[in-house]
Amino acid sequence: MARTIGSQGPKTMEAIRKAGLRLIFEHGYAAMSLRQLAAEVGIQSGSLYNHISTKQELLFVLVRDHINELLRQLDRALDGKQRPADKLRAFVAFHVSYHMTRKREVFIANSELRSLEPKNYEEIVALRGAYEQRLAEILGQGVAEGEFEVVDIQVATFAILALLTGLTTWYRPGGRLTKEAIVAAHEKLVLSGVTPGAKPDQARVLRTPSPDVRARGGPERR
């Protein structure tokens, strides 16, 4: 690969980040080498040290920036929302939409957490905790105002996040449902799960279309 133009500047750092993200996603943090990364970017191995000091630093920066962006965009999505139900709906819509397009970042942030050194691990866990706290506060407000019925805020927070993030394991563009339909389905699941007196039979069922009808979005069958 030809040497990257402007290898001392932001352009190369961005190329390193993108290549690192792809290589860690495809091969795992432990298996990826800096020599492999340099070859992918198109620079000499020694030139990497003009941008990152270690492979650990690269992993930390990728995960940290991902969660910071997650927090920034979430706060923007929640801005102006007052009622707990509106906040929760906005949280779900944002989380699902964001995770549809950030599969690599999400996978690395979850699967490679164990690869972080103690100091970096603690910082990332604190950032993740800040994101979880946003949801916990929404649920807590809903309970306090009588809009939600939740047995345990922490358990509900972790359960909802697991449900919403789970779509990264099955979502593929071009499947049966549109993105909007997938978001709506998750909103229904979460809101009905915390709304007092909600009955499962009240939920609208999305029926599978006949084979000759092509829709978009949804699980990829294998």
**Domain shared by 27 and 100, yes or no:** no
The 10s digit of each residue's pLDDT in 116-127 is 999 999 999 999
Helix, strand or coil, per DSSP, at residue 208: coil
pLDDT of residue 171: 85
**Domain shared by 157 and 186, yes or no:** yes
In a domain, 2, yes or no: no
User: What range does the domain containing 137 cover?
Assistant: 57-202
Q: Are 97 and 183 in contact (CB under 8 A)?
A: yes
Residue closest to 92 by CA, chosen among 35, 139, 26: 139
Position 69: which residue type?
E
pLDDT of residue 12: 85
Within 10 A of 26 (CB to CB), how many other CB atoms are there? 10
**Domain shared by 65 and 113, yes or no:** yes
In a domain, 210, yes or no: no
When the pLDDT of each residue in the chain is averaged and rounded to a whole number, the result is 84
Position 158: which residue type?
F
pLDDT of residue 114 exceeding 50:
yes
**Domain shared by 37 and 65, yes or no:** no
Residue closest to 15 by CA, chosen among 36, 42, 34: 42
In a domain, 94, yes or no: yes
Q: Are 98 and 183 in contact (CB under 8 A)?
A: no
Helix, strand or coil, per DSSP, at residue 55: helix
**Domain shared by 43 and 80, yes or no:** no
How far is Cα of residue 64 from the mean position of the Cα atoms in its chain?
12
50-63 per-residue burial string, b: 16 or more CB within 10 A, e: under 16: ebbeebeebbbbbb
How many domains are there within the chain?
A: 2
Structure token pair of residue 1:
């690969």
**Domain shared by 196 and 173, yes or no:** yes
The 10s digit of each residue's pLDDT in 123-168 is 999 999 999 999 999 999 999 999 999 999 999 999 999 999 988 8
**Domain shared by 69 and 14, yes or no:** no
Rounded to whole angstroms, the Cα distance separating 28 from 45 reads 19
**Domain shared by 16 and 64, yes or no:** no
**Which residues have C-beta within 8 Å of that of residue 105, sequence separation ≥ 6?**
21, 62, 66
**Domain shared by 164 and 142, yes or no:** yes
pLDDT of residue 20: 92
Structure token pair of residue 78:
């929640």
Q: What angle, rounded to 10 degrees, do the helices at 55-78 and 10-27 form? A: 100
The 10s digit of each residue's pLDDT in 155-214 is 999 999 999 998 888 888 888 888 999 999 999 999 999 998 754 443 333 333 333 333
pLDDT of residue 214: 32
- For the ranges 20-34, 39-53, 81-95, the lowest mean pLDDT is seen at 39-53
pLDDT of residue 103: 86
pLDDT of residue 43: 86
Q: What is the pTM of this model?
A: 0.79
For position 33, which CATH number holds? 1.10.10.60
**Domain shared by 72 and 160, yes or no:** yes
For position 107, which CATH number holds? 1.10.357.10
**Domain shared by 105 and 130, yes or no:** yes
In a domain, 3, yes or no: no
In a domain, 215, yes or no: no
**Domain shared by 46 and 62, yes or no:** no
